[in-house]
């Protein structure tokens, strides 16, 4: 009975995958090498990278195994310097079982405590690998990643549209057209930026204390955007962690009538007390955390009640399981999670898997409105956002595969494209 069900499960989950990798005997091979609890014995053989430039510089990661299963991950924002780090991590991973994800994560993290493993590029490089290991685990076991992270609490993930590079200019017809366009795409929430280094009312090139004129411009921009969206359309506003505490408090107070979904990083997130001071001064919800890493980066922020909403970037902050752990910590404080997300559909779908399993998920970012041709063609599955939501696929792993012809258009010139690691 046990044997029969094992065989049935493995066959049903592996056959489509075997076709995908062009390895007709893979199903049988995995059955041969499976342990009694139906788990294939795999070994990592290589880790390779490809570098692209879309929303800034980003690194795609592939982890290879001895049975033809390949996992993919993506890193963003703190990606500069990831490639040599990933090459270094690869040496720790080769020959290891890719399904022991927590062990791999801890081995790499703790081996780097004197080399920057607390935050930044080190953790971002680790994130790309961790994500790829989840993709492998899902493919090896024949289940979507969300199933391995606790199972879905929602079938689709709400996405908000970052309005992109086109500024929202009060009265401007192109800005109105962009607002229309975002609604036609089916989004129910959007974000705009109000920090402007070129604002004519800026008094100093370096200091970010906003003048009365600058604050007036910020309010006009929000007012114009707010009145052009319907009342029940949610609007978030980003200040990009540039301003001082006085400016942060002034703006948070003045935008109260707009009932924003949130005001993002009115001050930098590094000084938790300053963020808490801003939050305590206003009824506007404060969101922050796109530059914080792992559980330890969010601990004090949550303990001091310094934010209403947190926004870890799951393709940067430590990986998918780490994201789940951060979200669970936030849940204990009744704080919702709205992940920062600026990657290709591969990273976006990986993020969506986590968003589908955390009870306190609010909304996930999308930032490729100005790169839509690349966006639609980046993965073989095509457009992953349906009317403002990402439906979770039932395919094993992350559930999307790169369309190389499309993604290569964004390759950083002169960089390798998933070339095998040369050892010697
Ligand atoms: Mg931001």
Measured in Å, residue 275 CA sits from the centre of ligand 1 at: 15
By the 10 Å C-beta count (0-12 exposed, 13-18 middle, 19+ buried), 110 is classed as exposed
Average pLDDT over residues 391-415: 98
DSSP SS3 for 299? helix
- What is the DSSP secondary-structure string of 340-394? B--S-HHHHHHHHHHHHH-TTB--EEE--GGGHHHHHHSBTT----BTTEEEPP-
Amino acid 15: pLDDT = 41
Give φ, ψ of 74 to 5 degrees: -150, 145
Task: Tell me the CA–centroid distance for residue 316 and ligand 1, in Å.
Answer: 14
Q: Enumerate residues with CB within 5 Å of ligand 1 (an ion).
A: 238, 264
Calculate how far, in angstroms, residue 290's C-alpha sits from the geometric centre of ligand 1: 7
Centroid of ligand 1 to alpha carbon of 241 (angstroms)? 8
Q: What is the mean pLDDT of residues 142-158?
A: 98
* Ligand 1 center to 236 CA (angstroms): 10
Rounded to two decimals, the pTM is 0.91
- pLDDT score, position 424: 59
Weakest mean pLDDT among 39-43, 251-255, 350-354, 358-362: 39-43
287 CA from centroid of ligand 1 (Å)? 9
| 132: confidence class by pLDDT, cuts 50, 70, 90 | very high
The DSSP output letter for 243 is: S
């Amino acid at each position: 009975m046990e044997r029969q069900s094992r065989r049935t499960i493995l066959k049903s989950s592996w056959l489509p995958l075997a076709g995908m990798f062009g390895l007709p005997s893979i199903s049988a091979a995995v059955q041969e090498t499976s342990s009694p609890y139906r788990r294939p014995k795999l070994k990592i053989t290589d880790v390779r990278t490809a570098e692209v430039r879309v929303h800034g510089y980003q690194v795609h990661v592939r982890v290879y195994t001895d049975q033809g299963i390949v996992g993919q991950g993506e890193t963003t924002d703190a990606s500069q310097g990831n490639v040599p780090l990933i090459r270094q991590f690869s040496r720790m991973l080769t020959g290891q079982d890719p399904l022991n994800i927590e062990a791999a994560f801890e081995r790499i993290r703790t081996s780097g405590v004197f080399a920057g493993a607390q935050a930044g590029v080190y953790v971002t490089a680790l994130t790309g690998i961790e994500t790829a290991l989840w993709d492998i685990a899902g493919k090896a076991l024949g289940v979507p990643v969300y199933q391995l992270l606790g199972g879905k609490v929602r079938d689709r993930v709400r996405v908000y549209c970052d309005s992109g590079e086109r500024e929202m200019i009060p009265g401007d017809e192109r800005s109105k057209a962009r607002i229309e366009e975002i609604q036609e795409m089916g989004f129910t929430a959007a974000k705009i930026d109000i920090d402007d280094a070129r604002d004519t009312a800026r008094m100093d090139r370096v200091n970010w204390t906003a003048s009365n004129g600058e604050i007036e411009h910020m309010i006009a921009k929000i007012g114009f955007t707010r009145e052009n969206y319907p009342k029940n359309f949610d609007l978030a506003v980003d200040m990009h962690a540039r301003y001082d505490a006085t400016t942060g408090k002034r703006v948070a107070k003045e935008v109260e009538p707009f009932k924003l979904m949130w005001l993002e990083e009115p001050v930098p997130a590094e000084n938790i007390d300053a963020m808490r001071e801003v939050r305590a001064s206003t009824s506007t919800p404060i969101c922050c955390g796109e530059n914080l890493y792992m559980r330890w980066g969010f601990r004090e922020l949550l303990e001091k009640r310094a934010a209403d909403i947190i926004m870890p970037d799951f393709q940067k902050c430590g990986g998918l399981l780490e994201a789940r752990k951060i979200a669970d910590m936030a849940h204990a404080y009744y704080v919702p999670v709205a992940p920062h997300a600026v990657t290709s559909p591969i990273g976006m779908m990986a993020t969506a898997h986590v968003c589908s399993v955390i009870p306190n998920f609010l909304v996930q970012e999308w930032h490729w409105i100005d790169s839509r041709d690349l966006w639609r063609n980046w993965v073989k599955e095509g457009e992953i956002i349906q009317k403002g939501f990402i439906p979770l696929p039932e395919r094993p792993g992350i559930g999307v595969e790169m369309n190389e012809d499309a993604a290569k258009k964004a390759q950083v010139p002169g960089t390798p494209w998933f070339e095998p690691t040369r050892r010697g």
